[in-house]
């Protein structure tokens, strides 16, 4: 069975996730990988007018919204898993714009555990599912002048709210053993360069491990 890599790009609002996703995808493609993407589930639902805010009559209760996000996320990842299995390329990576544990940033730990249990998955299984997590810190932390709402219809957070979401997202992925946080103590090009360094090292290690597996066989 081929080894399928799964990577999560997460973080607070306006942190550079989209740019990072494009850069990471290109790096893997240059190394001969087939890249499958999982778009951000919550944004998709919100743009389809399924949202936990707004008019009382139209608003979905937050816990129910997160349940829909979880169900949708699992379904989309399952589809990519199948595509990766049947793909002719032995080198496949699935890159997720936010992952399953991002739900924990919006509800309590107990509520998330219950939702995950209903879907037959544990938090440890979720952690084991992804090999690499890249957290793009929101521009609201230290780069306030770059924090904008106009480029994403689903983004509604104020600067303070964006900071809170970023902090909760960091806590949600706290137990992942291969999680990197990219701060705003530099300009944006440098922030992206740091992402590239981590990903290139990750690809290099995967290549070395693959060579070792072939020698054992």
- Over the stretch 161-198, which tens digit does the pLDDT of each residue have? 899 999 999 999 999 999 999 999 999 999 999 999 99
Q: Is the four-CA dihedral 97, 68, 171, 138 of positive or negative sign?
A: positive
d(CA 134, CA 183): 11
Tell me the average pLDDT of the chain: 92
Model confidence at 152, pLDDT cuts 50, 70, 90, reads low
Instruction: State phi, psi for 182 to the nearest 5 degrees.
Output: -105, 110
Q: Is the pLDDT of residue 39 over 90?
A: yes
Percent of the chain with pLDDT over 90: 77
CA distances from 122 to 112, 126, 145, 170 (A): 10, 6, 39, 19
What 3-state class would DSSP assign to 97?
strand
pLDDT at res. 154: 54
Q: What is the pTM of this model?
A: 0.91
Model confidence at 153, pLDDT cuts 50, 70, 90, reads low
Give pLDDT tens digits for 89-137.
Answer: 999 999 999 999 999 999 999 999 999 999 999 999 999 999 999 999 9
Q: Is the four-CA dihedral 26, 195, 81, 41 of positive or negative sign?
A: negative
Instruction: Give yes or no for a contact between 31 and 196, defined as CB atoms under 8 angstroms apart.
Output: no
* 34-38/132-136 β-pairing: unpaired
pLDDT at res. 151: 58
d(CA 79, CA 81): 5
pLDDT at res. 144: 85
Q: Is the pLDDT of residue 49 over 60?
A: yes
Q: Is the pLDDT of residue 14 over 60?
A: yes
pLDDT at res. 8: 98
> CATH top-level class for 4-216?
alpha beta
What tokens does 193 get? Answer: 């360069």
Model confidence at 41, pLDDT cuts 50, 70, 90, reads very high
Cβ neighbors of 99 (< 8 A, separation 6 or more) are: 8, 10, 73, 126, 129, 130, 133
CA 145-146-148 angle, to 5 degrees, is: 105
Percent of the chain with pLDDT over 70: 95
The arithmetic mean of pLDDT across residues 147-153, rounded, is: 65
């Amino acid at each position: 069975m081929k080894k399928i890599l799964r990577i999560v790009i997460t973080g607070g609002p306006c942190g550079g996730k989209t740019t990072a996703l494009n850069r990471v995808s290109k790096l893997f493609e240059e190394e001969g990988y087939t890249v499958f993407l999982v778009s951000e589930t919550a944004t998709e639902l919100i743009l389809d007018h399924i949202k936990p805010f707004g008019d009382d009559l139209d608003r979905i209760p937050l816990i129910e919204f997160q349940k829909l996000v979880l169900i949708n996320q699992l379904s989309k990842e399952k589809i990519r898993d199948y595509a990766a299995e049947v793909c002719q390329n032995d080198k496949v990576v699935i890159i997720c714009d936010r992952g399953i544990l991002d739900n924990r940033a919006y509800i309590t730990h107990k509520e998330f555990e219950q939702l995950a249990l209903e879907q037959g998955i544990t938090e440890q299984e979720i952690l084991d599912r992804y090999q690499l997590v890249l957290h793009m810190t929101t521009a609201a932390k230290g780069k306030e002048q770059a924090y904008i709402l106009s480029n994403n219809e689903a983004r509604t957070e104020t600067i303070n709210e964006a900071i809170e979401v970023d902090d909760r997202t960091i806590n949600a992925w706290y137990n992942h053993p291969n999680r990197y946080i990219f701060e705003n103590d530099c300009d944006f090009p440098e922030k992206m360069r740091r992402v590239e360094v981590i990903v290139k090292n990750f690809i290099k290690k995967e290549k070395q491990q693959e060579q070792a597996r072939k020698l054992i066989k």
